Amino acid sequence: MPVVKSLEDLKRLKEEALAKRMARTTTGRAQITVAMGTCGIAAGARDTMKAILEVIEQENLTGVVVTQTGCIGLCEWEPIVQVVVGDEPKVTYGKVSPERARQIMREHVQGGRVVSEFLVPG
């Protein structure tokens, strides 16, 4: 925890906290949610999340908001990634390995084409 020694330190911390809050609440062109419940983490969701963030960084993508959530009740499909692009309906992908995550980012988030072979049936 940072030490606050002056009013300037407090103002700086406030600005940093507001910037982080704004980044979390801002909506983008695409929203990606990774299920990070215990079952998801056990199935490799951390590596999936890392792959998604790496693609965003490497491709210098903007307007993509990545969040995490807990278990969504489909443990047998973990790691699960949900993607919403623009006003399109939410798409749920299952068993998303880091390699599949990179493919989803390339084809769905960047290209606008749903990767149907990874969809969770529903």
- Cβ atoms of 81 and 44 within 8 Å: the answer is no
| The pLDDT of residue 118 is above 80 | yes
pLDDT at 76: 95
Mean pLDDT score, 5-15: 93
Task: Give the integer Cα–Cα distance in Å for 116 and 104.
Answer: 10
% of the chain beyond a pLDDT of 90: 80
- Taking only the tens place, the pLDDT of each residue in 11-33 is 999 998 887 776 655 667 899 99
Mean pLDDT score, 102-110: 96
- Strand-pair category, 91-93 with 81-85: antiparallel
Average pLDDT, the chain: 91
Positive or negative CA dihedral for 118, 52, 29, 66? positive
Query: Scanning the structure block, which residue is given the tokens 């807990």?
Result: 70
Query: pTM of the prediction?
Result: 0.77
- Taking only the tens place, the pLDDT of each residue in 36-73 is 999 999 999 999 999 999 999 999 988 899 999 999 99
